Amino acid sequence: MADRSMNKDMDKDIDIDVETNVELDTDPQFVEHDANLDVLIERGVALHGHLGPYLVCGIRMGRLALQLLRCRGYSDISAESDAGSTPPLSCLTDGIQVGCGCTTGKGNLRVTNWCRPRVWFIGPEGRTVTIEIRPEVVASFRTGTLEQASQSVKTLPLEELFQWNPPSD
């Protein structure tokens, strides 16, 4: 059985799989910037378990953050989601994981309990941007079915879907 004292070795640059002692491939992976939104939504549903407007918004928000902060994704961006832990609002955070590759497991995604459809992103060289779903869009989720709302946020222009400040440099 592995000894806890092995943890001190994990600070080294090379990741070793503690079970097999094999060096892991540490080449960084990057989000496919040209990935089709439908493919990402499929991926999101596979991760999250169902389709919903907050999930789709999270995916598009993550993609927008990569663009605004000039990130390649997965590792050169971190996010703090204010969407809390109560669905459907919290479904937004799973969309973020698919859209920009920030994940709780990598430690570059944190969730606060502000319970707002808003995410703060930090990119390379300290650039930051806060993106929030527009209140009128959130209000529109109360009418129609989940599928209708999801379809509508999939096609809405980004400026009509979100509000954001120009990214800080």
Which member of 52, 53, 95, 123 binds Zn ion (CB under 5 A)?
Answer: 52
Phi, psi (deg, nearest 5) at residue 111: -125, 130
3 state DSSP class of 16: strand
**Residue the block writes with tokens 């989940």:** 146
Check binding of 123 to Zn ion (CB under 5 A).
Answer: no
* Binding segment (CB under 5 A) for Zn ion, from list 7-15, 44-52, 56-64, 108-116: 44-52
* Contact (CB, 8 A) for 80 and 128: no
For residues 95 and 88, give the distance between their C-alpha atoms in angstroms, rounded to a whole number. Answer: 12
Q: Which is nearer to Zn ion, 16 or 146 (CB)?
A: 146
Nearer to Zn ion, 51 or 69 (CB): 51
Name the closest residue to Zn ion (Cβ).
91
Q: Which of residues 61-90 bind Zn ion (CB under 5 A)?
A: 87
For Zn ion, the binding residues in 127-156 under the rule CB under 5 A are none
Residue (15 or 42) nearer to Zn ion, CB = 42
Angstrom distance (rounded) from CA 46 to CA 68:
27
State yes or no: residue 91 binds Zn ion (CB under 5 A).
Answer: yes
DSSP class per residue in 87-111:
TTTTHHHHHHHHHH---TTTT-EEE
51 forms part of the interface with Zn ion (CB under 5 A) = no
Name the residues that contact Zn ion, by CB under 5 A.
Answer: 52, 87, 91
